[in-house]
Amino acid sequence: MVHSVRRLLNPLTAIRCRCNTIELHLMYADGVLVAKLAHTNSAIVNPALDKTQDFMVDAKGAGTGPYSFVSATSGSKYVLAANTSYWNGTPAVKNLNYDVVADEATAVARIKTGEADLYPTVASDSFSTVAAVSGYKAVSDSSSAIYFMTYRSNEGTSANPLMANKDFRKVLVESVDFEKYTQSVVGDNGTFNKSIVGPTLVGYTSAMDDAYVAPNMADAKALVEKNGWTGQTVTMLTSTREWHKTVGAYVQDQLAQVGITVNVVSEEWATYLADAKKDNYDFCILSWSNVTGDGQQMLETELLDKNGTRVKYNNAAFDAAVDASAKTTDATKRQASMLEAVKMIQGDCVVAPMYSPNTSYVYNANKFTNVVFDKGGQFTVSDFGVK
């Protein structure tokens, strides 16, 4: 998933601590403050390392959590050990070895052979396989995450200049039925949403579903014929992850039915994330885990002009609505501003919700107990029990 690493306390101007009381002096009434404070990015870290960002390279002494950094091979392996000085006691699981495995088939194979005890991001098409592994327990629960398609919409930000035409983007959106895709491909491992701010998030209202641009193949074909767009080529950027490739093939087939050719460019994950910021493609898949549980954070972090480096909507009215939804603690006003923002960006066919994937994981039930993930897909190993 795409995450934004940044300070979450942007409006914070000062902190003063007196005994057991912490006073926060803010520039405005921040309606998202509690969610921000509960975010993992608000964890207490070594101030010296935080200032230099050295903990991104060498994390020794960086935090105050239940585990301490031991070693790392960038992009390959990370080793942690239980923090014996942790305020809540030493965790039952003493050592953690995180292996980075880019290939889904390899990850599943390691579960089958018992080489791995936990696989936290099982793809929907692998779930039945890992669920059948003896001694392991597979779990698939609803989440607050969202997968969505994003379409470039301004001059100079896309491979095909027609992306600046709203009707052309409407063709791309109306031609693809993601509800049907969710039902037939994702099945019980995901839930179709009509809004990019889903029902599990603070700020959601059913009125947001009205912003959904429903699939309409007949209308899409009519727009193509009316404007002479038959034979146009658009470039879709995907990663090499299996589910990305499956979505890419589906979109390619659907758009072919209205006379639009889709050139699917598939890249390794890190390259994909970097290239998704460039201007040499027309649309791509993005995702957000919504770990704060607040709809405003999804809109701000992924889509706002200053943050949405992969979306590039660049709409001042949208930015103002998103900003307004943060600068009040009035729930009704916050919801109204989020609704305005969702109607704007979906109505302009700049984003199209695909589905909310379940949090799907598998673990060694012969070794561990109390293996629980939250709605944002996060887990705390210090809470795990050992048999």
The model's pLDDT over 260-288, given as tens digits with 9 standing for 90+, comes to 999 999 999 889 999 999 999 999 999 98
Can you give the pLDDT at residue 269? 87
Range with the lowest mean pLDDT among 149-153, 269-273, 291-295? 291-295
- Give the C-alpha separation, 134 to 364, whole Å: 9
Q: Which CATH class is domain 146-357?
A: alpha beta
pLDDT 10s digits, 56-115: 667 777 778 899 888 888 778 889 999 999 989 999 999 999 998 878 899 999 999 999
Q: What is the pLDDT averaged over residues 24-36? A: 86
Nearest partner of 69 among 56, 58, 77, judged by Cα: 58
Whole-number percent of the chain with pLDDT over 70:
94
Report phi then psi at 212, rounded to 5.
-65, 125
Cβ–Cβ under 8 Å, residues 142 and 375: yes
Range with the lowest mean pLDDT among 1-5, 64-68, 136-140, 190-194? 1-5
Confidence of residue 238 (pLDDT cuts 50, 70, 90): very high
Rg (CA), the chain: 22
Task: Give 22's contacts (C-beta < 8 A, 6+ positions apart).
Answer: 15, 16
Q: Report whether pLDDT(180) > 90.
A: yes
Can you give the pLDDT at residue 3? 27
Query: What number of residues does the chain have?
Result: 387
Confidence of residue 17 (pLDDT cuts 50, 70, 90): low
Can you give the pLDDT at residue 15? 54
- CATH of 45-100, picked from 3.40.50.300, 3.40.50.720, 3.40.190.10, 3.30.230.10, is 3.40.190.10
* DSSP β-ladder status, 233-239 and 261-267: parallel
Can you give the pLDDT at residue 8? 37
151: helix, strand or coil: strand
Can you give the pLDDT at residue 55? 67
> How many Cβ atoms are within 10 Å of 215's Cβ, its own excluded?
18
Q: Report whether pLDDT(23) > 90.
A: no
Residue 121, token pair as written in the block = 């991001």
Can you give the pLDDT at residue 16? 55
Q: Is the whole-model pTM more than 0.75?
A: yes
Domain range annotation of the chain: 45-100, 114-141+360-380, 146-357
205: helix, strand or coil: coil
H and E: helices and strands count for the chain? 12, 16
Q: Which residue has the higher pLDDT, 243 or 363?
A: 363
Q: Report whether pLDDT(236) > 80.
A: yes
Can you give the pLDDT at residue 6? 28
- Give the C-alpha separation, 61 to 377, whole Å: 26
Range with the lowest mean pLDDT among 139-153, 190-204, 293-307? 293-307
Q: Report whether pLDDT(173) > 50.
A: yes
